[in-house]
Structures are given as structure tokens and as C-alpha cells.
Structure 1
Amino acid sequence: MAAESDILDELYAALDGDPKSVYLHERLLEVWAELGDKDMTTGFATTLQRLDPKNEIAAQYLGQKSKSKTKHVSNQPNPKTSKASRPWTHPDFAESSNSQPIKNLSAQEKDLSDGYTILKLEAQMLQVELAAVLSHLSTSDSDDQEVLPTLQAISEGRVGSVVPMEQPMSVRSRAREIAESPSEASSLIIEDFEAIIRWAACQDPPLLPDAIRERLVKRKTLLEAAIPDSMTKDTTAALRHIERAYLEKTYVNSETMLGDDISEIPKENFFVSEDNYAWDMDELAQAITANDGVMRNPLSKQLFTESDIKQILAHPLGQRLKPMQLKQSQLKKGIRPSTIQWVSKVGKIMLEDQSVDIAPSRKVMDEFLAYVATLPKAEQETIKSLKIPGVDSTSKQPFDYTIGESIRDAVANTTCLHKVGDFLSQAAVYLKKQ
């Protein structure tokens, strides 16, 4: 009785989501007939005939009720009354406690969802019927007995535990597929990694996220060995997407710079730097542009690694940063040794200046500005625009500054002279290495 009651609850739950389903009405009609409830059987047969006037099952029960197979259950308790014993009326579309309706499905997705529900229901009914048949047999085939746990697993939604999952495509076959369609490399690699996820989820017991990630990293390594080096960026991006979408990957930041959740970043914009910060590439490119193209993490203030910089510049949204990078690279080559000596001299005097009127610092800054005015335009542009990385000696916080900006701020008294002197000393060391 408990099994029939469970089946009824499942059928009513499914019917709430699809009240005009002929198939579900047929199954409910059969279950009530099996339980021997003539009123419910007649009610469902009548409703079924309205939905499908030519339905043979409805016609059979309405025309031959006396011949239908019934069970006398007068001495047995009624099944669950929450939905099973209610007389048939049009559903109120309230959510069932056993299932949550999925909204906004495409037609194909809805067919798949409905088919999955039907598969579970049919497995449950078949399990009940087979168990009843086997209980009346003096001897039964062991194969028949083994079917019961399989049907139970399917009815409970554990299809993967009894239906073997096809092994993922071989690396060689996948690499050949990518080579034949290089323009679709990114989507094919994501598809390959998703196949690994599906396979792992169907194992018994299912693999844990760390074990799945380990398999994905190995798969990525093997795949990279079989495809051109230029596609390495696609495998890296695909792994990042899979980790976020399926493996509950956590990052240093939980939101983008504009306050959006990391999960809301569009797949094509998603980027993770080596320091485990997640980025919307559109936001990151804007932040780097605002800093004159300096490849510095806007959140941690640390410079990006060489690998990160290559990936940022290779990204479609990061390609607009290339001219800035080229300009900064060219500016580094535009400083002559005598200018570097001047920068070092100014920094040293400003650092050591303890006078009340800071006259030594003002004098050396005026001399430096007069010297800069004599330089070629290209070198003046370098003094003005080249971003040089520095570290605040007090807070240890990294920052970027140009020599021109630092002198201007010191003259205007908007920045501490000793801080400017410290930066200029660091700048001289940096320029000597270029």
C-alpha cells in the first residue's frame, strides 16, 4: 500500500505541472483501478475521455467497469490523503512538496524534464508490479530479483548508478576534432571538460570536487600536448569556466569591482589571475586604462605576472590595452644616463632635507625642471608619462607614479617631500635596470 501511495503522490505532483497530460491521467486511472476505488476510477476515466475522446483506456473503464481488475481494500487504510484521496478537480497549480517546477524551459528541455519524470514513475510502477508477481511465484529467476534494485534506483532518480555512463572521448579524438574546427576550439574544449564532469557525477559514489578538479587538470595537460600551443589560452579559460560553473570554486574576491556577484560575470568576460582574483575583463580593462596601461591588480595593488599580462592582452577585451603597453615600453628606453643621475640626486636631497623652509628641496626641484626643459621632446614625454612602480616605505603599499607627477605634487605641497624623494630614489634604481 505504501508503494501505491508513493506512486500516487508522484503522479499528482507531475500532474500539477502538466494538468492536461493524457499519459499522467492514464497512469492515475490505472492506479486507482488497481486500488479498487470505483469513484476515483470513474472520475479519472471521465476526465481522460474529455481530454482525449478516442482514448481506449478511458472507454474500457467507462464501458466495462465490472470487468476491470480491482482489489477489495475495505479493511485496509486509505493511502495518503494529502493529494491521493482528493476527488479530481482542476489543479490550483500549488507547488508540490515533492517537486519544484522548473520555469523558463525551452520546448526540448521541457520534453526532457517531463520524460525524466515519466521514466521514474514507470520504473516505480514496474517495480511494484514485478514485486507482486514474484511474490506469487514459488521459484523465481535470480535475474528477475536483480531487476528490482535497478528499478528502485531509477525511480529514485539514481539513473547513473545503474546505467553505465559512456567514457569521455579519447584525447586524440578530441584533439583531432579541435584541429578540424579551430574556430570552435573554445566551445569544444568546454564540451570535453563537461563530459568529464558528467562522467564523474555518475560514478558510484560520485567523485568529490577536488578529485574531479585533479582529473580535469590531467585532462588539460594531455589535451595541451596534442593541440597547438596557441590554443593553450582556450584550455586555461575552459578550466576556469568549469571550476566556476560546476566545482564551486572560491576566489579572493566574491564580487567584481562594480559589485556584481562573480557568478554573474558572462562566460566570455570571465578571467582569473594567478593570484586567484576573478575579473570581468571589461571592468579590468577599464581599470588598467585609467592607470595609463600599468598592469597592476586594481584590488591587491600588486603587479600582474607575465603570464597574466599575456592572457589579458590576448583577450578580445584586453587588446585595446596593447597600444598603451607599447607606449610604456618605448618610454622606458627614452631616458639617458645623465637624466637618471639627476633623478637620483633629487631623490637623495629630498629624502635628507630636514630644514624648516625645505629650501634645499625646492632649489633642486627647480634645477631639475630647468634641466628637463632642455631635453628632447621624447625624453620629456618619458619624464611626464612613464609609470614607474614604487612601494611606500611606511605602509609597504605598492603604487605607480611618474617622475613628472611626483615633482608637480611636491611643488604643490600635495604630497610629502620625503615620500616623493623616496619614490625618486626607487625610480632611479628602476630606470638603471631598463
Structure 2
Amino acid sequence: MAGIESDILDELYNALDRDPSSVFLHERLLEVWAELGDKEMTSGFASTLQQLDPYNELAAQYLGQIPKSKPKSKQDPNKAKAPTASRQWSFSNLPGPSYSQGESSNSQPLPNLSGQEKDLSDGYTILKLEAQMLQVELASVLSHLSTSDHEDDEVLPNLIAMSEGRVSSVISMEQPLAVRERAREIKASPEDAEELIIEDFEAIVRWAGVQDPPLEVDAIRERLVKRKLLLEAALPESMGQDTVTALRHIEREYLEKQYVNSETMLGDDISDIPKENFFVSEDNYAWDMDELAQAITANDGVMRNPLSKQLFTDSDIRQILAHPLGQRLKPMQLKQNQLKQGVRSATIEWVAKVGKIMLEDQSVDTAPSRHALDEFQAYVVTLPQSEQETIKSLKIPGIDSTSRQPFDYTIGESVRDAIANTTCLHKVGDFLSQAARYLKSQ
């Protein structure tokens, strides 16, 4: 028995074990055994098929009988006749397309599929099975012909490809939708802009995957970037962020994008971040927005990367605040911005003066620094309540002059830590000098 016939029989018997009463499977087995010339098996399957379907024309043909006419069922003439399939079979127990080229065709059906997914899965298996059978029949016919035309030479390789599951190599895929047409579609449904752009990018990925040979990941990414730029040119500027977000999702799901971090702050894999929570900052860190918002909240709303300790860019900050999970950060961000504007020049000069004294203090008892801190505290008490709140609560970005690590500190915290001897006086003096320069720039 040839290998291809053996494969077909294995496939059919495997399916028959799951659905012993399938008329379709008995018909196909009958045809295969007849093709192989095994009269005993052909007769046996014809008899079994006739028991399952007494009016089956194929069974009657192989048994040498005249087909019986089906009795007409009594039906309401006003009731529309339901459409019937030309072949009867059960989808429910056929093996799904869970194997690739070179794997066994006796794979178990995929679990937990929806109705439509199950129909698609089983229909795919039926397509492969029928392609195998047509391949055998056509090869047999061609072997008896002295010549064959060009179309026959093309059909047989196509049937082989389909029987092996390489359907996309036979059926060409349409080109992605034109940019202008896609842009019109997006502008007509602005509330669905991000999802529509994701669908557009997915179409590019699918198209690239069925090319011969398939495009490499870098080539696909290059095409997506070009597509993004073309869409941005055709869409309103307000939708620019939607294209950026859509590309990020595609890079994670299809292009094996690598990020600086491989896990979230709570130890989850980047691939496990829910789509609606996924965010990538410009420094290529991937975030679960819920975790990121909590970390920023814990730092009094300072927009600093919790992992790298660097401040987020303006673009990142806008995206974080625009995200549904980042909305809670807006009041804190607004408060910090307002605090920046509430410091008078005299106070900034005081901060710079104290910082300079502390940096230059080399005395054993640190008396100059202690005296300057006491004077500064006495001065702060005389300030309006709003300015005192700024001294107490405004987070100011600083850089450790020794380790070069960034950090955030308030003037009030630094003064309290210096008085309590919990922080080096020179470090506090360095911070106060940086704070004065920062406040002047605001």
C-alpha cells in the first residue's frame, strides 16, 4: 500500500473511532478501499454504509443494486425548506488542525473551542483529507495518460500542499487595504481607532507571513513602520498616539520584541500583561499600567521610571496620564506643577545659601551648617502657607554626586534628615544647591 493511501486510511479510521456513525467517513473509506482494489473491504463498507443510510446511492452502486428512492416526507407547503448539505458528516469528533507539516495526523482535537472556531478547525481537517483523496485519484488518472497538460502539472503539487496543511501556499492572499481607504474607515469610527489600526497591522503581518519565502521579522517591522507613517499622514494628528500604541501591541504579539525588562515589577512575564494594561515607555521598558500607576502614586506623583530611576519623557508622561489607569495620577501631577510655581526668589536664594554653607563646611562640630539650618527653618515659618507646602511636599529631582544615581527629595525632608543626622550634611548641601537651580529654571 502506497504511503499516501496509508496516511488517508489512518486519518479516516482515526476519525471514525470518534464518530462511528458518520456516513461521510464511511463513504470516504469505501472509495479508498475501492481505489485500492480490495473487494472484500469495499463490500464490507458498502454493506455497513447501507445499514447507516438505506438510501445511500454510493453503497447501492458498489453492491450492484438499484438505489432506493427516499420517501417524501410530509411537510407544510408554506414552510420554507431548510438547506441541506451535499455530504453528511459530524464535525464534533473529527481531529482538528493541531499539527504542522511532518507531525502525526492523529492529533487530538483542540479543547475549549467556540462553535465557530470548532467549525473552522474541523473544516480545515476535512479540506486536507479531501485534498489527499483527490491527490491519489488524480495521480492514478495521470499515471494512465501518456501526456498531461500544464494545468495538470500545477494541480497535483497544489493538492499535495493542501493535504499537508500548506493552504496559504496555494491560495494567494489579497494585498492589505489601501492606506487612504483604511484611513477613511478609521476616521468614520474614531472611537474604535486603535482597534482598527491593530487590525490593519495584523493584516500586514499575515500578508508577510504567506509570501514565498516568508518575510523575516526585521523586514516585517520595517513594513509596519512605513505603514504607520503613511497612516499618520492620512489621519488627524489627534490619532497619532493610536498608531504608536497599535504598533507596540503588534511588536509584542507577533514580532518577538525584546524589552529592557523581561518581567513586570511584580514578577509577571511581559507576555502576560493584559492588552488593555500594556504600555512601553520611550526607554523601552514594558509596563503593566496598573503597577506603574501604583509605583508613581507611592512616589507622590513624580513621573520617574521606578526601575531605571530616570524621569519619564514628556511624551511618556502624556501617555501615562491619558491612559485610563493613569487618570488617578492627574491630581497629583497637577499639585506638583502648582507647587513649582509657588516659590518666591528670596526663598530660592535662601535654599542656595544654605546649600553652599553646608557644602563648604569642613568644621569638626559642623556648627556653620547647624546654624544655617536653624535660620532657614525660622525663615520658612514666616512664609505663606502655600509656600510652606511647597517646601514640604514638592519633589525635586536630584543626582547623587558620588553614585550618579537619580533620586527625588523635598527641601523639607532633606532639612529634617540633616538635623536628625540620618543623611550626610554634604549630601544635603549638594541637594539644596541642585534644588535652588531647579526652582530657578521653573
TM-score range, shorter chain: 0.7 to 0.9
- Is 2:399 the partner of 1:399? no
Q: Is 1:24 aligned with 2:32?
A: no
TM-superposed deviation, 1:290: 1.0
- Residues 121-168 of structure 1: CA distance to partner in whole angstroms, max 9, x if unpaired? 111211111011011012222211221111111112222222111111
| Letter aligned with residue 250 of structure 1 | Q
Q: Deviations over 1:224-259 (max 9, x none)?
A: 111111111111111111111111111111111111
**Counterpart Cα distance in 1 of 2:148 and 2:62:** 36
Of residues 266, 278, 300, the one that matches 1:270 is 278
Query: Is the alpha carbon distance of 1:267 and 1:20 closer, same or farther for their aligned partners in structure 2, counting shifts above 3 Å?
Result: farther
Pairing partner for 1:354 from 355, 359, 362: 362
Letter in 1 for 2:198: I
The match for 1:189 is 197
Number of the residue aligned with 1:60: 60
Q: 1:3 to 1:397 in 2, by over 3 A?
A: same
Classify the secondary structure of the residue corresponding to 1:400: strand
8 Å CA contact retained: 2:193, 2:242: yes
Distance in 1 between the 2:39 and 2:308 partners? 73
Please tell me the residue identity of whatever aligns with 2:27: E
| Deviation for aligned residue 1:11 | 3.4
Offset at residue 49 of structure 1 (A): 6.1
Q: Where does residue 201 of structure 1 map in the other structure?
A: 209
TM-score by length of 1: 0.87
Give CA-to-partner distance per residue, 1:244-301, whole Å, 9 cap, x none. 1111111111111111111111111111111111111111111111111111111111
Query: Which amino acid is 1:60 matched to?
Result: A
Within 5 Å, give how 1:217-366 maps onto structure 2.
217-366=225-374
> How many residues align structurally?
408
**Partner residue in 2 for 1:427:** 435
Question: What SS does the corresponding residue of 1:389 show, helix, strand or coil?
Answer: strand
Task: Return closer, same or farther for 1:48/1:425 CA change in 2, 3 Å cut-off.
Answer: farther
User: Residue type of the partner of 2:388?
Assistant: Q
Please give the alpha-carbon distance, in whole angstroms, between the structure 2 residues aligned to 1:9 and 1:400: 69
Q: CA deviation at 1:383?
A: 0.3
Deviation at 1:101, TM superposition (A): 3.3
Inter-CA distance 16–197: structure 2 relative to 1 (3 Å threshold):
farther
Letter in 2 for 1:299: L
Deviation (angstroms), 1:25: 4.0
- Relative to structure 2, which stretch is displaced further, 53-62 or 186-195? 53-62
Aligned in 2, Cα 1:287/1:105: closer, same or farther, shift over 3 Å? Answer: same
**Which whole-Å CA distance do the structure 1 matches of 2:118 and 2:220 have between them?**
29
- Alignment CA distance shift 1:364-1:120 (3 Å): same
Question: For residues 189 and 19 of structure 1, what CA distance do their matches in structure 2 show?
Answer: 47
C-alpha spacing 1:36/1:189, structure 2 compared with 1 (3 Å): same
Match of 1:34 in 2: 35
Take 1:237 and 1:191, find their aligned partners in 2: how far apart are those partners? 12
If the length of structure 2 is used for normalisation, what is the TM-score? Answer: 0.86
| Cα contact 1:46–1:58 (8 A) shared by 2 | no
d(CA) in 2 for partners of 1:426 and 1:19? 82
* Secondary structure class of the residue paired with 2:154: helix
Q: C-alpha displacement at 1:6, in angstroms?
A: 2.1
SS at match of 2:433: helix
How much is the aligned-residue C-alpha RMSD, in angstroms? Answer: 2.6
Q: 2:384 aligns with which of 376, 392, 395?
A: 376
Q: Which residue of 2 aligns with 1:8?
A: 9
Change (3 A) 1:289 1:144: same
1:78 corresponds to which residue? Answer: none
State how far apart, in whole Å, the 1-side matches of 2:415 and 2:179 are.
Answer: 59
Once the two structures are TM-superposed, the CA of residue 5 in structure 1 deviates from its matched residue by: 1.4
- Determine the structure 2 residue equivalent to 1:410: 418
Structure 1 residue 27 displacement after superposition: 2.2
Letter in 2 for 1:28: L
The Cα of 1:213 is off from its aligned counterpart by 0.8
Letter in 2 for 1:218: K
Distance 2:280 2:142 in 1: 58
Q: Is the 8 A contact 2:300 2:332 kept in 1?
A: yes
- Structure 1: stretches of 5+ with no match in the other structure: 66-89
Taking the aligned partners of 1:54 and 1:361, their CA distance within structure 2 comes to 106
Q: Unpaired segments of 5 or more residues in structure 2?
A: 66-92
Residue 21 of structure 1: how far off its partner (Å)? 4.8
Match of 1:212 in 2: 220
Match for 1:409: what amino acid?
D
Seen in structure 2, the aligned counterparts of structure 1 residues 272 and 15 have a Cα distance that, compared at 3 Å, is farther
The Cα of 1:28 is off from its aligned counterpart by: 3.0
One-letter amino acid of the structure 2 residue matched with residue 31 of structure 1: V
